[in-house]
Structure 1
Amino acid sequence: MSPGSINLTDPLDYQWIFEAAGVGLLEIDFHGCIRRINPDGAAFFGSTVDVLTGQSVMNLTYAEDIPRTVEALGRVIDGTVPLVVVEKRYVRADGEIVWSRSRVSLLRKTSGPPDSVLAVVADITELKRAQQDLEALNLSLRATLDGGLLGLGIALEARDLETSGHTVRVIHYSRRLGEALGLSDEQLTELKHGASLHDLGKLTIPDGVLLKPGRLDATEWAIMQTHALKGYEIATRIPTLPCAALAVIRSHHERWDGTGYPDRLSGEAIPLLARIFAVCDVFDALLSDRPYKQAWTQEAALHELRQQRGRHFDPRVVDAFVSTFEADDADGA
């Protein structure tokens, strides 16, 4: 054997590898007690080898992470898996909370069954802090986007004061209906963004048409119908707006029977979020005073939705809306 080489049959060389591994190494018995820990592991905990040896690893673990730690150790000890990788928090000697990614496996013995595990502990505290900062920034940006889109939607109402509060109400209805239909959080956000901007295209409609106190003639109605497509075209210039939200803006005036606009889609060819929003939009419109009509009663509006099942609206969506609305009404919501 050449000078300076390591003899892996020599227990002293094994100890040298343990001491100089460059990562934290802990031998933990089946009761969670630290039998051995190397200097890198001790440094991670902000303590010394002598102080940490004999302590329970659970005493060092952040309280909320103890159940996951017990579960991970148990799976290795009972042979369910040969190795687990667990991310968890520890509390250092100075009280600082640190994060680790630990690889835990059985520590085999030369004779007899194993009675301890080996944990290879890597410090990922800075990585976790960076992830948390990024998540906080993402939440802040999302809140800014949500607020901006809602603000724009409400600002659109300034051109038509008779619909004041419409945007906030249809967002509320849409979320409740979306939850009832089992939409994911991502889909609910897309629905909210689409609902916020659903009337964006009305910016392009002349006041003489938009605010006319009466029924529109054929020419005026054709102009009014352009707002869905015009709104979609404007909204496509918002780079963070997802396609599903754009579909709400474009397709919320399509009808289940194919007689809607702008694309005369029918049935399930109409995007789901647009089908959901259409019910909420029409319901609130029926309950609201408009230049061309007085507000309907709640009972009359719900009756109209039922009448339009399979004609204007997706029957399943109507049924879910009516059930949800009646449940909310019964609870006093």
Structure 2
Amino acid sequence: MTPPASPLTLPDALDYQALFEHAGVGLLEIAFDGQIRRINPNGAAFFGQSMTTLVGRNVTHVTHPEDIPRTLHALEQVVSGQAPLAVLEKRYLRADGEIVWSRSRVSLLPGRSGPSTSVVAVIADITDLKRVQQELEALNVNLQATLEGALLGLGVALEARDLETSGHTMRVMQRSLQLGEALGLDAVTLGELKHGASLHDLGKLSIPDAVLLKPGRLDAEEWAQMQTHAHNGYEIASLIPTLPRRSLEIIRHHHERWDGTGYPDRLAGEEIPLLARIFAVCDVYDALTSDRPYKRAWSSQAALAEVAAQSGRQFDPRVVTAFLQLFGGAPQARSEDAELVA
């Protein structure tokens, strides 16, 4: 009588062993408790250690400390049956202290004659890829810093021509960012607010000195010419290809009014982009509290009173409430019109 065939004949076993040893990626059998039961030569080479040194060690001992929780979570998902396969990018520590990266795929290893007691991990070396990625990220950070520095430098240069108080651009930008954070803006949107704030008065480059630097009040014709700076600034800034749309909206719309009587497009209420509404409050407050050729600086309390008075008229009431909570005190009444110094 011929005995029943075993699940894995000797030739099959030899074939699988050869496949295990010569696979072009690292292969590990890992017990449910994290102990390495088997590892192939490519896996050992990835760790820079011998197979005999690695077998019996816990996989967490060669895992970067910051990635141990993610490793244990992936193992738990597979062992518990929550996921048939776990894929994660993680760091390992070689024997020489070098950090190497892998894309690891972990799945349950069926038992030969009973329940499974281990998983198989396939690890592909992506260290070079990660290094290139990190270099590109660093380059992007440097380019972003360069752009921000250039935009802020241009904004500061505009101050000198406009004879505004030194530091206006930086102050209004920082106050806008604080207000934006208080209103729950995310990091990307805050960056867009920062860029728009840096260039908010770019269009004043197109305003003649006789109008821009006039020490007294502007007549109707001069005021109409001054109002063109919002549109002109938008047109100039639109030539900067990396400047986000919402930054451009600040430049164009920071003189719109909540009641629809502003410029250049007479937008009203929530038609006005949120970042422009946020910036407008900060811009006017700083203008009120700064010396200008045609006015002395108001006290902080008087300026806060004017901001409060313009809620629902010049400014978004929700933005005003947040501004007063962040920077307010007990405002004192002031009769002058904030729009005249915006």
TM range (shorter): over 0.9
RMSD of Structure 2 on Structure 1 (CA): 1.5
**Which residue identity lines up with residue 56 of structure 1 in the other structure?**
N
What per-residue deviation string (whole Å, max 9, x for no partner) do you get for residues 134-156 of structure 1? 11000000000000000000000
Which of 43, 46, 52 aligns to 2:45? It is 43
Q: Paired residues, what number?
A: 322
Runs of 4+ in 1 over 6 A off after TM superposition: none
Q: CA separation in 1, counterparts of 2:113 and 2:182?
A: 60
What TM-score does the superposition give when structure 1 sets the normalisation length?
0.94
- Superposed, 1:180-259 pairs within 5 Å as 180-259=182-261
Q: CA separation in 2, counterparts of 1:9 and 1:302?
A: 87
What per-residue deviation string (whole Å, max 9, x for no partner) do you get for residues 43-72 of structure 1? 111122122111111111111111111111
* C-alpha contact 2:106 2:120 (8 A) present in aligned 1: yes
Which of 126, 129, 150 aligns to 1:127? It is 129
1:31 maps to what in 2?
A: 33
* C-alpha contact 2:304 2:328 (8 A) present in aligned 1: no
**Residue 163 of structure 1 aligns to a residue in which SS?**
coil
What TM-score does the superposition give when structure 2 sets the normalisation length?
0.92
Give, in angstroms, the shift of residue 37 of structure 1: 0.4
Which of 109, 114, 129 aligns to 1:107? It is 109
1:154 maps to what in 2?
A: 156
1:169 maps to what in 2?
A: 171
Q: CA separation in 1, counterparts of 2:118 and 2:201?
A: 66
Give, in angstroms, the shift of residue 9 of structure 1: 6.8
* C-alpha contact 1:8 1:14 (8 A) present in aligned 2: no
Q: CA separation in 2, counterparts of 1:219 and 1:326?
A: 36
* C-alpha contact 1:106 1:118 (8 A) present in aligned 2: yes
Percent sequence identity over aligned pairs:
70
* C-alpha contact 1:226 1:262 (8 A) present in aligned 2: yes
* C-alpha contact 1:90 1:98 (8 A) present in aligned 2: yes
Give, in angstroms, the shift of residue 160 of structure 1: 2.6
2:334 maps to what in 1?
A: none
Q: CA separation in 2, counterparts of 1:176 and 1:9?
A: 71
Q: CA separation in 2, counterparts of 1:104 and 1:9?
A: 27
Residue 268 in structure 1 maps to residue 270 in structure 2: yes
Which of 277, 289, 295 aligns to 1:287? It is 289
Give, in angstroms, the shift of residue 318 of structure 1: 0.6
- Mind listing any 5+ residue stretches in structure 2 that lack a counterpart? 1-8, 330-342
**Residue 297 of structure 2 aligns to a residue in which SS?**
coil
Q: CA separation in 2, counterparts of 1:23 and 1:234?
A: 54
What per-residue deviation string (whole Å, max 9, x for no partner) do you get for residues 280-326 of structure 1? 10010010111111111111111111111111011101111111113
**Which residue identity lines up with residue 219 of structure 2 in the other structure?**
D
2:307 maps to what in 1?
A: 305
**Which residue identity lines up with residue 150 of structure 2 in the other structure?**
G
Q: CA separation in 2, counterparts of 1:21 and 1:196?
A: 56
2:338 maps to what in 1?
A: none
**Residue 164 of structure 2 aligns to a residue in which SS?**
helix
Q: CA separation in 2, counterparts of 1:325 and 1:141?
A: 33
